[in-house]
Chain A
């Protein structure tokens, strides 16, 4: 412990030196921007700026790239809350309750809670990263395809069990998402599936155009279709800050989101978006009044926004401790280190202590910078809502198209977004939730790949899923959940879903 503190002191010496501080600041600002712009996510931001880091030394380069990464998680919530457009994929869940809060005039509170939640999650998870990286990384590596398959199955069941409203509709949407996720090159055989000769479809349907289309475009279309223009919610200064009750309601979700996000983040191959989905589902399950979810529950903002931030630190665990890329973003960052002649791997901590500890310390500093940067911006961003719709919405549309195009420079992605926008509009009219589609698109390729890799490992024997301890335990959990879901059929008690349906009926027929 004393050694850790000593190392950390060295790290802060590096992180607080003016040039490193400057690049951390630049990274945080760029990250926030990348997060705010719809479509452009941290991967696109880091990829675009990677060449610019080649002239820097390794520490400055990695500090700046990391700043973009976790900065994007801060910024991603902004447009989700204000306009129901996910700034980056991991903020999809924030669209639901964050936007509902904004419609109730609590946009400032939602933004502030998202920022503070991100700060707490960011800082706490860096402590975890610092103290627990080596043992956790060794554990994370034990997640091979069978474990991953079991984890995803469990996750899907948790989400299905906790979806609101009609279970049938939610499952139909998840199935649609899974089907869309099947498009593209079959990674196991090289077949093009449902690509119809369009080479770009070989990579499948990306989550960014789907999320921006289903949430953002659909919202714009729906607003345009209203007979009377929606009232402009003019925020008053007094209402910018969360109330005492809102703080109380978000304290535990922030804590749980932090732990969940970190644990999901360390598993190689998983995405932040899954961390935020699971956190949302857990919060709804634990809430005293789950019927408030979807109508502006603070916990529905606090949990997912904390989870996607701490997942970032979690993703650094295998990268720093073992030199193993846990996802596309850490992979680009590892490449950045290699360009500077630093070989990332288990020996990094001992061979490059200044880089390692400087990096850790810069994450503490960066999170403070982001909080200072984001809280005053709440006031600025909220004022965007004063812009009249005829000006605001067309400009958003332009940003959506630019952002989605920027990710892959692909016109096909714009078409996907437009089609998803139209689909999202129709589904909204018919009262379907669209979040499960996004989840399906994300999960389908991962789930399929993990299943088929497992079977390739075992030569087709399904026993591999129960024979391996971690996947066995996870699948047992999934089985228990299925049984729990069947309980109401047997005991005839009303669960909250049924109560919710009754309440809705009561509203319609007073």
Chain B
């Protein structure tokens, strides 16, 4: 190809690109990638979100489960996909933990947080602290005082090392100046089984999962990580109320697009997300799951996301590399 021909081609290409940009988005199906297997928190949030987005955007929105490596596989695939608004990500808090853990181990990061443009926060569930009902601690204060007396003796289960449930406990331990013993499990389900079987003494968990066990008298709630009390547990104080600052923690779910997605597309997606969470069908679906809708978008979501990422990053670095027996 001669240089002249290339020069002649360039304006044509530019024109074509401009035409494509002006085409009303969306014109084809959108994939909402969930980096976890079906049936988990992320998946159960994504499905009503996709259904509601579909109604608002008037284009098919399909949930694609791309699980693996605690979410890293799916997040990495969205990070590197074409930023055209047709590949979106529904991520949980772990999106800011994975790159920090990679850094800690000196691994080439699977992705970095700035590869994602935040669109909207959909839900934010504060974790709550539960202990087996046959343990002596009746209040968070008793629990923390006992932990101060016996550092490293009280054991808690978690969904995995550096996982959300581990991080929640780590933030509390730091704020309260205590040291607990960590027993990681492969997922939140086994972590719950462990505390119900009495093999560990404490667990930080999303409220919906432990509510039935609190009602049946097997577990006792001591405190919550949110800035407000959990609606279903009005008598359980938050750690902020009790004076433990900086321990705020939520298991949140938000929608992201790859960085570089054109601003008009992002704006359209933000509006669509707002309309989507107001759909009655979406509200009904999240009510059943007992996940509170907490909607934030644009600058507000960015601030929330950055503050959360900072707290979690500090948490991961404080935990450091884990040494085991």
**Stretch of B32-40, B141-149, B249-257, B261-269 that contacts chain A:** B32-40
Chain B's closest residue to A190 (CB) is B161
Known contacts A47-B37, A453-B183, A459-B152; is-contact A339 B289 (Cβ 8 Å) = yes
Chain A's closest residue to B75 (CB) is A199
A455 touches B324 (CB 8 A): yes
Cα distance A20–B7 in the bound complex, in angstroms? 68
Least Cβ–Cβ distance between A391 and chain B, in angstroms: 34
Of B110, B162, B196, B321, the contact of A322 (CB 8 Å cutoff): B196
The answer, yes or no, to whether A376 is at the interface (CB within 8 Å) is no
The answer, yes or no, to whether A408 is at the interface (CB within 8 Å) is yes
The answer, yes or no, to whether B186 is at the interface (CB within 8 Å) is yes
Cα distance A336–B193 in the bound complex, in angstroms? 18
Q: Residue-by-residue, is B50-81 near A (CB-CB < 8 Å gives 1, otherwise 0)?
A: 00000000000001011111101100100000
The answer, yes or no, to whether B22 is at the interface (CB within 8 Å) is no
A346 touches B212 (CB 8 A): yes
Least Cβ–Cβ distance between A59 and chain B, in angstroms: 15
A338 touches B322 (CB 8 A): no
Least Cβ–Cβ distance between B39 and chain A, in angstroms: 4
A199 touches B73 (CB 8 A): yes
Complex interface residues of chain A between 314 and 359 (CB less than 8 A to chain B): 318, 322-326, 328, 331-332, 334-336, 338-341, 343-347
The answer, yes or no, to whether A192 is at the interface (CB within 8 Å) is yes
- What's the count of A-B pairs with C-beta under 8 Å? 152
Cα distance A191–B160 in the bound complex, in angstroms? 12
**Stretch of B85-93, B213-221, B233-241, B270-278 that contacts chain A:** B213-221
Cα distance A188–B325 in the bound complex, in angstroms? 10
B63 touches A51 (CB 8 A): yes
Chain B's closest residue to A345 (CB) is B212
Please give, as numbers and ranges, the residues of chain B lying within 8 Å of A188 by CB-CB distance: 161, 184, 322, 324
B193 touches A190 (CB 8 A): no
B288 touches A340 (CB 8 A): yes
Q: Residue-by-residue, is B191-215 near A (CB-CB < 8 Å gives 1, otherwise 0)?
A: 0111011111000000010011101
Interface size class, chain B = 35 or more
Cα distance A456–B183 in the bound complex, in angstroms? 6
Cα distance A453–B211 in the bound complex, in angstroms? 26
B105 touches A190 (CB 8 A): yes
B39 touches A456 (CB 8 A): no
Chain B's closest residue to A453 (CB) is B183
A47 touches B65 (CB 8 A): yes
Least Cβ–Cβ distance between A398 and chain B, in angstroms: 24
B212 touches A339 (CB 8 A): no
Cα distance A477–B70 in the bound complex, in angstroms? 37
Of B194, B216, B288, the contact of A347 (CB 8 Å cutoff): B216
B215 touches A347 (CB 8 A): yes
Cα distance A326–B186 in the bound complex, in angstroms? 12
Known contacts A199-B72, A203-B69; is-contact A141 B196 (Cβ 8 Å) = yes
Please give, as numbers and ranges, the residues of chain A lying within 8 Å of B184 by CB-CB distance: 187-188, 453, 456
A185 touches B69 (CB 8 A): yes
Complex interface residues of chain B between 168 and 203 (CB less than 8 A to chain A): 181-187, 189-190, 192-194, 196-200
Please give, as numbers and ranges, the residues of chain B lying within 8 Å of A13 by CB-CB distance: none
Please give, as numbers and ranges, the residues of chain A lying within 8 Å of B325 by CB-CB distance: 452, 455-456, 459-460
The answer, yes or no, to whether A165 is at the interface (CB within 8 Å) is no
Please give, as numbers and ranges, the residues of chain A lying within 8 Å of B192 by CB-CB distance: 324-325
Least Cβ–Cβ distance between B161 and chain A, in angstroms: 5
Q: Residue-by-residue, is B14-33 near A (CB-CB < 8 Å gives 1, otherwise 0)?
A: 00000000000000000000
A199 touches B182 (CB 8 A): no
The answer, yes or no, to whether B5 is at the interface (CB within 8 Å) is no
The answer, yes or no, to whether A54 is at the interface (CB within 8 Å) is yes
Least Cβ–Cβ distance between A340 and chain B, in angstroms: 7
Of A323, A335, A455, the contact of B39 (CB 8 Å cutoff): A335
Chain B's closest residue to A462 (CB) is B325
Of A331, A410, A460, the contact of B189 (CB 8 Å cutoff): A331
B67 touches A408 (CB 8 A): yes
Please give, as numbers and ranges, the residues of chain B lying within 8 Å of A144 by CB-CB distance: 194, 197-199
Please give, as numbers and ranges, the residues of chain B lying within 8 Å of A343 by CB-CB distance: 208, 211-212
Cα distance A258–B164 in the bound complex, in angstroms? 39
Chain A's closest residue to B76 (CB) is A199
Please give, as numbers and ranges, the residues of chain A lying within 8 Å of B213 by CB-CB distance: 323, 345-346
A338 touches B289 (CB 8 A): yes
The answer, yes or no, to whether B44 is at the interface (CB within 8 Å) is yes
Cα distance A331–B187 in the bound complex, in angstroms? 10
The answer, yes or no, to whether A105 is at the interface (CB within 8 Å) is no
Please give, as numbers and ranges, the residues of chain A lying within 8 Å of B322 by CB-CB distance: 188-190
Least Cβ–Cβ distance between A323 and chain B, in angstroms: 6
Chain B's closest residue to A409 (CB) is B66
B183 touches A457 (CB 8 A): yes
Please give, as numbers and ranges, the residues of chain A lying within 8 Å of B287 by CB-CB distance: 341
A189 touches B160 (CB 8 A): no
Least Cβ–Cβ distance between A142 and chain B, in angstroms: 6
Cα distance A499–B107 in the bound complex, in angstroms? 54
The answer, yes or no, to whether A472 is at the interface (CB within 8 Å) is no
Please give, as numbers and ranges, the residues of chain A lying within 8 Å of B193 by CB-CB distance: 141, 268-269, 318, 324-326
B288 touches A338 (CB 8 A): yes
The answer, yes or no, to whether A143 is at the interface (CB within 8 Å) is yes
The answer, yes or no, to whether B11 is at the interface (CB within 8 Å) is no
The answer, yes or no, to whether B47 is at the interface (CB within 8 Å) is yes
Name the residue in B182, B185, B197, B216 with the highest tally of chain A Cβ atoms < 10 Å from its Cβ.
Answer: B197
B72 touches A202 (CB 8 A): yes
Please give, as numbers and ranges, the residues of chain A lying within 8 Å of B182 by CB-CB distance: 456
Least Cβ–Cβ distance between A35 and chain B, in angstroms: 19
The answer, yes or no, to whether B136 is at the interface (CB within 8 Å) is no
A268 touches B105 (CB 8 A): no
Least Cβ–Cβ distance between B261 and chain A, in angstroms: 23
The answer, yes or no, to whether A145 is at the interface (CB within 8 Å) is yes
The answer, yes or no, to whether A50 is at the interface (CB within 8 Å) is yes
Cα distance A224–B289 in the bound complex, in angstroms? 54
Please give, as numbers and ranges, the residues of chain A lying within 8 Å of B63 by CB-CB distance: 51
The answer, yes or no, to whether A449 is at the interface (CB within 8 Å) is yes
The answer, yes or no, to whether B243 is at the interface (CB within 8 Å) is no
A residues neighboring B (CB under 8 Å): 47-48, 50-51, 54, 141-145, 185, 187-192, 197, 199-200, 202-203, 268-269, 318, 322-326, 328, 331-332, 334-336, 338-341, 343-347, 408-410, 449, 452-453, 455-457, 459-460
5 A-B residue pairs with CB within 8 Å: A47-B38, A199-B68, A324-B192, A325-B189, A346-B213
The list of the 9 closest CB pairs from A to B, nearest first, reads A345-B212, A202-B69, A144-B199, A341-B288, A335-B39, A141-B197, A332-B39, A325-B189, A460-B325
Given contacts A54-B47, A141-B196, A269-B190, could you give 8 more A-B pairs where the C-beta distance is less than 8 Å? Answer: A51-B38, A325-B189, A325-B190, A325-B192, A339-B288, A409-B65, A457-B183, A459-B152
